Structure 1
Amino acid sequence: MPRLIAPTVRLHDAWLEAHAEWGPGLHEDGFGLSASDEVDSPAGFAAWVARLAGQSDPACTIDAGRHRCTYRWIVEDERVLGGIALRDGDDAYVRWAGHIGYGIRPSARRGGLGAWALGSILGEARELGMNRLLAVCAVGNAASVRTIERCGGVFERIEETGSGPLRRYWFSL
């Protein structure tokens, strides 16, 4: 049975395995990985996990105090299957990337895991008192379109951005 857990240094090797499966780059949505994060060494990984935990702290201010982010890893049998992020706020980043971002490692896709994780994080958002959430995905990402729509996302529009056209969906909790 999969679980959503807070990022932990205990799963360093399992996370590196998932990261390697995606291949090089920063394309694992939901992990909060930035170009300056060094995750290969235990010390670098611990620093990254600590940064993620700090962003999950409601007292933490991000982007001039406009949003906080709660990170969860999707784990089953000590294997990292993906990540999901819940952003609370209304700054330019959230308006572009959405309140929710997630990614499922390639070998764990096509089994409903994304919909399960999205439904679970919507429950966390409800508990935090959030009532309207934006999710976006690339126009050509048919799997995310199906996942978002299956979980109740209501299509708003396609928006042209510097990174390509994005489909925008809203969840009312």
Structure 2
Amino acid sequence: MGLLALGTYWLARNTPTFAPAAAQRAPVHEPDYFLRGFSVKAFDPAGRMKSEIRGVEARHYPDTDTMEVDEPRIRSVNARGALIVATAKKAISNGDASQVQLIGNAVVTREAPADNPAPRLEIRGDFLHVFVEEERVRSHQPVVLKRGNDVFEGDSLAFDNLERVLELKGRVRGTLQPNRGTAP
């Protein structure tokens, strides 16, 4: 009986044990790659440039699947051929780049198309949330909107370029300039 107990003890001591499974690390907000002095272009099936983003530096965060870009410059051509340009001090984009938050001196400009009499449109603010595919811009902070020579200011903004609907809220002020291009 003693010999059996001693053998069992020896076997228990010398049998390899499996280490407990490593505990899952909590996701940390650290970039997994960087881009410096970059330009990324996207093209449509016909080979025409659809969009381009340039920046000083970009960081991708895998825990949130977001991209932060310093000093971004985004150029996009919509389906009607209108050029849209966006700039800011910083941009945060979701994984598929369908939403971009422009932070710090944010400006979104829709240039006047050559075949359309619509004037140039510029939206400025400290924060602009751009929904790329839907061609919408929102802001919960004060904005200045310039449409041709007309200037509007508001405490918040909701703009839908496809539906041609602009909503300014809060203290709204506007200055409309007379059209000097036509004779009475």
What's the TM-score once normalised by structure 2's chain length? 0.30
Higher helix share: 1
Q: Which has the larger radius of gyration?
A: 2
What's the TM-score once normalised by structure 1's chain length? 0.31
Higher relative contact order (CA 8 A, sep 6+): 1
